[in-house]
Amino acid sequence: MSPASLDKPLTLALSKGRIFEETLPLLAAAGVHVTENPESSRKLILPTSDPGLQLIIVRASDVPTYVQYGAADFGIAGKDVLFEHAAQNAGGLYQPIDLNIAKCRLCVAVREGFDYEAAVSQGSRLRIATKYVQAAREHFARKGVYVDLIKLYGSMELAPLVGLADAIVDLVSTGNTLKANHLVAVEDIVQISSRLIVNQASLKTRAKALQPLIDAFAQASAA
């Protein structure tokens, strides 16, 4: 290994918003502080108080890709994102810890007044709009329900309101978004939180730098 690569800082991939915000206390527990705010800065590479650690800011669903290819040594991603990523990309990611942040649940939701149970028991073919196509496909296959899946990239709650779908599969936390759109959750699919993911090669070649951070994150997230 060249001296330059030994000097290269560790790179942690994060998405801005709730994952960045909820990761700050974990970094603080490892003695690391971040001075720039990705919401106001246009920079995509952020330094930290530790010259040996930098952050890259990417879309939530791109975090596993950066880590898998080794462009980031490690990253933080929701189980929802990891499940969709794993369906299309084999291996390369080590998942040492559940960080217990960005907690929510993946649900089936319908318009108030739509009789989901009746539709299921009658064997009706359901139109489901979702960003989580793999998780939805697996859920309905397990139930033996025939579905047509419609892939969306956001604002799923709109789909049943405008006749695009009978139901959605989406994340729910407080339930406020469903309520504001006159939707109700009819089934919980899985509890979601975010995990630390580590590039397998980095884990071997950069263990000395990585392991103390992994340990500090594990301790802080269990507290």
126 φ, ψ (degrees, to nearest 5): -105, 140
Other C-beta atoms lying within 10 Å of the C-beta of residue 207? 12
When CB distances are held under 5 to 8 angstroms depending on the partner's kind, the choice from ligand ATP, ligand PRP, none that residue 143 binds is: none
Please give the residues from 141 up to 170 whose contact with ligand PRP meets the rule CB under 6 A.
154, 170
When CB distances are held under 5 to 8 angstroms depending on the partner's kind, the choice from ligand PRP, ligand ATP, none that residue 176 binds is: ligand PRP
**Helix H or strand E encompassing 30:** none
Angle between helix 133-143 and helix 79-88 axes, rounded to 10 deg: 90
Residue with token string 């419609």: 150
Q: How far is the CB of 29 from ligand PRP (least distance, A)?
A: 25
Residue with token string 């490892």: 30
**120 vs 149, beta carbon nearer ligand ATP:** 149
When CB distances are held under 5 to 8 angstroms depending on the partner's kind, the choice from ligand ATP, ligand PRP, none that residue 61 binds is: ligand ATP
Q: Which of 3, 51, 154, 163 binds ligand ATP (CB under 6 A)?
A: 154
**Amino acid type, 195:** R
Angle 4-6-12 from CA coordinates, rounded to 5°: 105
| DSSP reduced 3-state for 82 | helix
**Helix H or strand E encompassing 202:** helix 200-205
Should residue 62 be labelled a site residue for ligand PRP when binding is judged by CB under 6 A? no
When CB distances are held under 5 to 8 angstroms depending on the partner's kind, the choice from ligand ATP, ligand PRP, none that residue 170 binds is: ligand PRP
Q: Which of 14, 53, 67, 80 binds ligand ATP (CB under 6 A)?
A: 80
Q: Which of 13, 129, 172, 196 binds ligand PRP (CB under 6 A)?
A: 172
Q: Which of 29, 104, 145, 186 binds ligand ATP (CB under 6 A)?
A: 104
**10 vs 192, beta carbon nearer ligand ATP:** 192
d(CA 118, CA 145): 12
**126 vs 149, beta carbon nearer ligand ATP:** 149
